Structure 1
Amino acid sequence: FVKDYTELADTIRKAFRIAKSGRPGPVLVDIPKDVQVQMQEYEPVPVVEKEAQRPVKLRKIQAAADMIAEAVSPYIYIGGGVITADASEEVLALAEKIDAPIGSTLMGLSAIDNDNERFLGMVGMHGHYPASVGQDEADLIIAIGARFSDRATGDVSKYAKGARIIHMDIDRAEIDKNISSDLGIGGDLKEALTALIEAVKPARHPAWNARLDALRAIGEEQLEATLDPKELTPHSLIWEVARHTEADTPVVTDVGQHQMWTAQYYPFHKRRTFITSGGLGTMGFGMGAAIGAAQATGKKTVLFTGDGSFGMNLNELATAVSQNTPLVIVIMNNNVLGMVRQWQNLFFDKHYSQTTLNRQTDFVKLAEAFGARGLRIMNRQELGPVMAEAFAHTGPVVVDVAIDPDAFVLPMLPPGGSFDDIITEV
């Protein structure tokens, strides 16, 4: 709170320092109107730097190396902190040296190339089968820049019941907050990982890798069972969009089923190409984030959204059109609030309440009314040609895609369940 206008400049600098330091995050600066209207000569000073972190304790690094040396089935579990710390290469180097797989939280996606053989995918409520089950069967979990949210762990009393846990995070308040660790290492992740890579000894775990290969095969079988080359599904839609994008294309989501389908099926190859709110039910987040990503990078950007989420902030189409933003908006239109409906279907005996929208909105006409291009896809045959047309357009495009209201996001952990309770089919 700025009470004196002579303190405004320094307060703003302090806010930027706090926002950039440690675990980055928002800072609120309250500026009363009487301060806003005052005049003062501006005095330039050097750009503020983030606060230095306390050095990582080497005794803890050595303790972690000793635990890794004893592990038979190690598992590296990464979160968004790896992206923030620009530590992807260090994670991969550690995985190679200790012969461990890598699983990711939702916010950690894009830190590791999806095509990397070490990467098992996303862990948690809607995680990939090999990533979630592999984590559950590990005897050592090395958590890096992740906070063990309930969406990632399920029932905490059953989480990692046979594993020891090393938790590395720049925010020391996160260590032991949700899950008790056997060893906590606070500090800059890039620094900590560099020291750990130097301290650990090379290892190989053939039996563990064989088990992981078996889990991958099960996951692939589950996916194959859901695919129909003749049907328009979320899977086929996302893969078709990916055919038209580059490795550095920003991909943005709103919140709901489409968010989880994108996390499950879109092939991320470069860091910071996945932009999602991560939680708090922030329907409507996508439009502003996608416009920002496109304007900041100058690259054609993809927004995956649902008809429910898109309705929260569709007025920003006016901004996208006025700026001629290179944006392809893909609406997975099932005329329901899909994620809540899925829960009502699976856990509340199909007692649907307030999730069937019954809206008559024509998104193609709406797009055209704003001055954007509007396209529609009703079946699998239209998917390829219409997407090609959408990506050939230079300005904002809205693609309304008809999706089955009973298409589910699977696998899924039931609420309060554990990895023993994974739902893989209905």
Structure 2
Amino acid sequence: SGRPGPVLIDIPKDVQIAEYEYTKMPVVEKEEQRKPKTYKLEKLAKMIKESQRPFIYVGGGALVADATQEIEQLANVMDAPIGSTLMGLSSVYHNNPRFLGMVGMHGHYASSKSLSKADLLIVIGARFSDRATGDVNKYGNRTKIVHIDIDRAEVDKNIIVDLGIGGDVKEALQELLPMLETKSNVEWQKQIEALKQEEAQQFERTVSLDTLNPYTLITEVQKYTTPDMPIATDVGQHQMWVAQYYQFNKPRTFITSGGLGTMGFGLGAAIGSALATGKKTVLFTGDGSFGMNMNELSTLSKLQAPVVIIIMNNGVLGMVRQWQNLFFDKHYSETNLSGMPDYQKLADAFGIPSYRITNMDELHENIEKAMHTNGPVLVDCLIDKDEMVLPMLPPGGSFDDIITEMEEN
């Protein structure tokens, strides 16, 4: 009940082998979840009516609550854009024109800047992670903030809000919606369109469409996926590129460890996703993360699970190198991954078919073959070690400090 999460029950060895008189006990009942308070929802309805630049910000709690429909209805009634945390991705469909993408350290420019300019921020099932907020002293200082969350401990924990509403977010929104009248924020929508145009221009300057890079790779893979296909990641640059570029159009299809930062998570998660859903699953990973747990190729081979492994192989620990490049005067230390195996030979040792991609022709040819392969397959994609995840908030920075492109040396 309440906020879900892992629970560890550790039974000591002496208890396991001890003899004890059995006593029948009643089954533990689930605790009844407290309902969102109506007077607080009425206050929120008044704040929405008075706002001119509203923004809806969704987190992983929106997925847990299955609140996609209610969030999209709320956005339509409020005439508001929607942004997401990393864990909230797929709770709102990417093809929804109101969805601006991820917010935060590596969020979309238009999404992060719109949030910073809003006069009312409605936060649904998110926890204000420092990766999402940047400098907490500057976060929302021009904005009224409303936080709806099933876990009351999250309210006012990282960010002090103007209104906290405890309870299931789906129930809260279902009760809120009949209180609202449809409104139009014409000037706000003009500002958002201008920010989207700025983002499009930045993309044109920084991303090449005719070379092998993270964008062209992810875009090519998506041509052969379906909306209900699980997409898993490990941790690092590839994780952020997938969050930025892959278009999720069904809830719970983005499988990632989020703030835990667990390199090596991806292969096991992809195998589990494929077995649980019965669907072909794509794993985007980096050579650093893949190296943490590549022994699971044995499990993959044994089970013949339909997992397509896409290794973004740049020969370095890319995210750490990016920080060393941007903030430590290019003093590279312990980020070179020399000594890693030939991944095609490794796959062959486990009886798993594989392909290598080094250019655009091989991209088009080999991704199609890999995606039509039955059972497991590995694709080793060689990308430039100096590819950056942009935009980026610098450490301790705010949304006013977003880095959108590299300066020429």
Q: How does 1:324-335 map to 2 (within 5 A)?
A: 324-335=304-315
Q: For 2:252, which of 272, 284, 287 is the aligned residue?
A: 272
Aligned-residue offset at 1:281? 2.4
Which deviates more from structure 2 when the two are superposed, residues 45-54 or residues 277-286? 45-54
> Is contact 1:257–1:339 with CA below 8 Å preserved after alignment?
yes
The 5-angstrom pairing of residues 209-358 of structure 1 reads 209-358=189-338
| Structure 2 match to 1:125 | 105
SS of the aligned residue for 1:267 comes to coil
Alignment partners' CA distance in 1, 2:310 and 2:193: 34
Would the alpha carbon gap of residues 108 and 43 (structure 1) be closer, same or farther in structure 2, given more than 3 Å must change? farther
TM-score w.r.t. length of structure 1: 0.92
1:280 shift after superposition: 2.9
Q: Would the alpha carbon gap of residues 237 and 48 (structure 1) be closer, same or farther in structure 2, given more than 3 Å must change? A: farther
Report the residue type matching 1:115 in the other structure: N
Equivalent in the alignment of 1:365:
345
Instruction: Give the letter for the 1:86 counterpart.
Output: D
Query: How high is the sequence identity, in percent, across the aligned residues?
Result: 62
| Superposition CA RMSD, Å | 1.8
Corresponding position: 1:88 with 2:65: no
Q: Distance in 2 between matches of 1:276 and 1:133?
A: 25
Measured in 2, the distance between the counterparts of 1:54 and 1:154 equals: 32
Q: Secondary structure at the match of 2:83?
A: strand
Give the deviation of 1:297 after TM superposition. Answer: 0.2
Partner Cα separation in structure 2 for residue 116 and residue 126 of structure 1: 21
Residue 115 (structure 1) aligns with: 95
Instruction: Name the CA shift for 1:171/1:381 in 2 (closer, same or farther; >3 Å).
Output: same
Offset, 1:43: 12
> Per the alignment, do residues 357 and 380 of structure 1 end up closer, same or farther by CA in structure 2, a change over 3 Å counting?
same
What secondary structure does 1:228 align onto? Answer: coil
How far has the Cα of 1:230 moved from its partner? 2.6
Select between 28-37 and 144-153 the one with higher mean Cα deviation.
28-37
For the 8 Å contact 1:141–1:164, the answer to whether it is kept is: yes
Q: How has the CA–CA distance of structure 1 residues 172 and 327 changed in structure 2, closer, same or farther, with 3 Å as cutoff?
A: same
Q: Which amino acid aligns with 1:387?
A: I
Letter paired with 1:255: V
Question: Is the aligned partner of 1:31 residue 2:34?
Answer: no
Q: Does 1:203 align with 2:183?
A: yes
Question: Counterparts of 1:154-233 in structure 2 under 5 Å?
Answer: 154-233=134-213
How far has the Cα of 1:390 moved from its partner?
A: 0.5
Give the C-alpha shift of residue 105 in structure 1.
0.3
What secondary structure is seen at the aligned counterpart in 1 of 2:170?
helix
Q: 2-side partners of 1:135 and 1:25: how far apart? A: 28
C-alpha distance in structure 1 between counterparts of 2:372 and 2:28, whole Å:
42
2:401 is the counterpart of 1:402: no
When structure 1 is superposed on structure 2, of 340-349 and 154-163 the one drifting more is 154-163
The 2-side partners of 1:158 and 1:375 are apart by: 47
2 CA distance for matches of 1:221 and 1:275? 30
TM-score, structure 2 normalization = 0.96
Quote the residue 1:16 is aligned against.
none
Question: Which residue is equivalent to 1:147?
Answer: 127
CA distance in 1, matches of 2:133, 2:220: 32
Aligned mate of 2:35, from 32, 55, 66: 55
Contact 1:255 1:279 in 2 (8 A): no
| CA distance in 1 between partners of 2:121 and 2:12 (Å) | 49
Structure 2: distance between partners of 1:48 and 1:64: 36
| 5+ long unaligned stretches in structure 2 | none
Contact 1:77/1:142 (8 A) holds in 2? yes
- Look up the match of 1:419: 399
Which one-letter code corresponds to 1:354 in the other structure?
A: E
Range with bigger deviation, 98-107 or 31-40: 31-40
* Deviations, residues 108-157 of structure 1 (Å, cap 9, x unaligned): 00001101011000000000011000000000000000111110010011
- For residue 259 of structure 2, give the secondary structure of its aligned residue in structure 1: coil
Matched position secondary structure for 1:147: coil
Alignment partner of 2:200: what SS? helix
Q: Secondary structure at the match of 1:269?
A: coil
Deviations 1:52-110 (A, max 9, x none): 21111101000111111110000000000000001111111111111111000000000
State how far apart, in whole Å, the 1-side matches of 2:252 and 2:25 are.
Answer: 30
Q: Secondary structure at the match of 1:64?
A: helix
How far residue 237 of structure 1 moved from its aligned partner, in angstroms, is: 0.2
Counterpart among 80, 98, 111 of residue 100 in structure 1: 80
**What one-letter code is carried by the residue in structure 2 that aligns with 1:421?**
D
The one-letter code matched in structure 1 to 2:350 is F
Q: List structure 1 runs of 4+ shifted beyond 6 angstroms.
A: 38-49
Report the 3-state secondary structure (helix = DSSP H, G, I; strand = E; otherwise coil) of the residue aligned with 1:112: coil
Q: Do the aligned partners of 1:60 and 1:185 also contact (CA within 8 Å) in 2?
A: yes
| Deviation string, structure 1 residues 224-243 (Cα, Å, up to 9, x no partner) | 22232331000000000100
Letter in 2 for 1:383: L
Secondary structure in 2 aligned to 1:279? helix
Which residue does the alignment assign to 1:10? none
Determine whether 1:73 maps to 2:53: yes
Structure-1 separation of matches of 2:102 and 2:27: 37
